């Protein structure tokens, strides 16, 4: 086809040609995959930040048996609630870092100017956040549940509820994290913004876990959790992209 | 195409109580370079950020190749590269990884292209080092490598020569000249002189504080 005139700048011709995109332009999916890969790589290089919410979750769920009673029958009554409050606060703990570093070093600015839909990139960032906090929390939940006296038959239900519920929590949280970007020491404000919106997740999540512990069907609350997660997937990236654009002004 | 290039008319921008840009206007054709000069705090960065569509001015018009840029911001963004006074690098990623993720957002750059861009800015010896160990000048050189890899006709550069040694500044000049020769357009904000022949450069002086 047409050879570039200037070998030092390959592709210039295509880009200068006007409305047509260069033939090697990155698609939205590729860009989103790169954002995901970059966030995962970074998190694995800074393990301290990664471990913090998990350690918090483990400590809180371990303290309850000491404070209430070592009697498993009594612990079992509060297990679902304890588990879910700890999971909610742990996922909130990690939220502050979701966009903060990218805002400071100008990465968000480059994302906003990349010509890629910012909504897709925000979705990728939130997905990375869930893989790094929500999923590990779901995998740790069985240990915590057992130490709170939950029977082993209830574990699949508990893992499922935490896994699905944290998807919704990450997405709701991403809106709050994006809205508080311009504010220094935004932690408290972020919690105030995010917690009320997270309450449905807490209620249905705890209910699903409780039903699982009592050996009853937990499908109904789990479906409601899934509905919340789908709602979040549809709307939250749009909202956080808009909030990020405002923060760049 | 009529009016190829960047046209800005009567731009007014307020930042809170401050009236930063007071009726700024200019027109740069393709192949032209505009040096935005002025003392610290005169609004050079605000002008660049407005020109790339990050800041929304209170009034004024921005046209790229004759079209209002606000009609299709994503298309305008694909046509420009903005590099702020700090290169957007992650401290925990190596110079090469930073470059790969940065450029990859817009185009597929192969390993070879990445390598030759790094060689060209003199980063061959330290491309594996994490960005946190790099000096300000080295970070700036990574930004230059990105500039040569990201393909877009409009370059908006904030203090492109800051922190660079003489050879690095010359490299900025060479990159800009190559870009202009290929029909590109450059807006550079700096209170230094640009390493280009004065005949190639239009000058815009911002004075308001």
Which pLDDT does position A22 carry in this prediction?
Answer: 59
Instruction: Provide mean pLDDT across the span A206-223.
Output: 96
Q: Answer yes or no: do B66 and B160 share one domain.
A: yes
Strand partners, B202: B34
d(CA A141, CA A208): 14
Residue B52 belongs to domain with CATH number: 3.40.50.300
Sequence-separated (6 or more) residues with CB below 8 Å from residue B68: B61, B62
ipTM of the complex, rounded to two decimals: 0.93
pLDDT of B158 strictly over 70: yes
pLDDT of B7 strictly over 50: yes
B178/A8 CB distance under 8 A: yes
B183/A34 CB distance under 8 A: no
Q: Residues 7 to 46 of A: which have CB under 8 A from any B CB?
A: 8-12, 14-16, 18-19, 21-22, 24-26, 30-31, 34-35, 37-38, 41-42, 45-46
Q: Answer yes or no: do B97 and B181 share one domain.
A: no
B77/A42 CB distance under 8 A: no
Instruction: Provide mean pLDDT across the span B109-113.
Output: 90
B104/A14 CB distance under 8 A: no
Q: Is the separation of the CB atoms in A66 and A60 below 8 Å?
A: no
Strand pairing category for B59-64 and B5-15: antiparallel
- Best B106, B112, B144, B179 member to test A by mutation, with max A CBs in 10 Å, is B106
If one counts the domains in chain B, the total is 2
Domain finish residue from B108, B127, B151: B151
Q: Is the separation of the CB atoms in A162 and A87 below 8 Å?
A: yes
Looking at beta carbons, which residues of chain A come within 8 Å of B86?
105-106
Strand partners, B154: B80, B185
Q: Answer yes or no: do B162 and B68 share one domain.
A: yes
What are the tens digits of pLDDT across the range B13-54?
999 899 999 999 999 999 999 999 998 889 999 999 999 999
Range of the domain at B24: 1-79+152-209
Domain finish residue from B151, B166, B188: B151
Domain finish residue from B126, B151, B176: B151
Q: What is the number of helices (H) and of strands (E) in chain A?
A: 11, 0
Q: Answer yes or no: do B120 and B193 share one domain.
A: no
Q: Answer yes or no: do B143 and B158 share one domain.
A: no
Strand partners, B33: B186, B201
Looking at beta carbons, which residues of chain B come within 8 Å of A106?
84, 86-88
How remote is the C-alpha of A61 from its chain's centroid? 21
Q: Answer yes or no: do B27 and B75 share one domain.
A: yes
What are the tens digits of pLDDT across the range A5-28?
444 444 443 344 444 455 788 899
Q: Answer yes or no: do B124 and B187 share one domain.
A: no
Q: Answer yes or no: do B142 and B166 share one domain.
A: no
Q: Answer yes or no: do B142 and B114 share one domain.
A: yes
């Amino acid at each position: 086809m047409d050879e570039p005139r200037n070998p030092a700048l390959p592709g210039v011709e295509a880009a200068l040609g006007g409305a047509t995109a260069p033939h090697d332009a990155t698609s939205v999916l590729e860009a989103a995959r790169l954002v995901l890969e970059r966030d995962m790589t970074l998190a694995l290089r800074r393990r301290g930040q990664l471990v913090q919410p998990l350690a918090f979750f483990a400590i809180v769920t371990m303290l309850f048996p000491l404070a209430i009673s070592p009697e498993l029958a009594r612990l079992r009554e509060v297990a679902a609630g304890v588990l879910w409050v700890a999971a909610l606060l742990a996922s909130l703990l990690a939220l502050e870092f979701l966009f903060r570093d990218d805002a400071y070093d100008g990465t968000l600015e480059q994302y906003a100017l990349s010509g890629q839909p910012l909504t897709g990139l925000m979705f990728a960032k939130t997905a990375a956040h869930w893989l790094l906090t929500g999923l590990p929390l779901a995998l740790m939940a069985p240990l915590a549940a057992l130490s709170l006296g939950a029977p082993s038959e209830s574990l699949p239900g508990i893992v499922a509820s935490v896994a699905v519920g944290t998807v919704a929590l990450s997405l709701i949280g991403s809106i709050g994290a994006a809205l508080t970007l311009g504010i220094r020491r935004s932690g408290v404000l972020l919690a105030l913004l995010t917690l009320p919106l997270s309450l449905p997740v807490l209620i249905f999540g705890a209910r699903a876990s409780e039903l699982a512990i009592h050996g009853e069907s937990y499908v109904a609350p789990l479906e409601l959790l899934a509905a919340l997660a789908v709602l979040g997937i549809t709307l939250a990236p749009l909202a956080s992209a808009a909030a990020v654009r405002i923060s760049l002004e | 195409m009529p009016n190829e290039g960047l046209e800005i008319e009567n731009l007014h921008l307020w930042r809170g109580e401050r009236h930063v840009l007071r009726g700024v206007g200019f027109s740069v054709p393709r192949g032209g370079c505009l040096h935005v000069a002025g003392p610290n705090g005169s609004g050079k960065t605000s002008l660049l950020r407005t020109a790339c569509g990050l800041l929304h001015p209170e009034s004024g018009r921005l046209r790229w190749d004759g079209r209002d840029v606000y009609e299709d911001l994503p298309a305008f963004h694909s046509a420009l590269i903005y590099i702020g006074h700090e290169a957007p690098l992650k401290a925990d990623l190596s110079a090469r990884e930073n470059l790969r993720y940065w450029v990859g957002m817009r185009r597929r750059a192969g390993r070879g292209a990445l390598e030759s861009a790094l060689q060209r800015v003199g980063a061959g010896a330290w491309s594996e080092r994490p960005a946190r160990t790099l000096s300000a000048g080295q970070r700036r050189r990574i930004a230059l490598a990105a500039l040569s890899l990201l393909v877009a006709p409009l370059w908006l550069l904030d203090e492109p020569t800051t922190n660079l040694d003489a050879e690095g500044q010359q490299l900025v000049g060479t990159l800009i000249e190559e870009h202009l020769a290929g029909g590109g357009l450059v807006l550079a904000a700096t209170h230094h002189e640009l390493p280009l022949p004065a005949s190639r450069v239009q000058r815009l002086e911002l004075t308001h504080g």
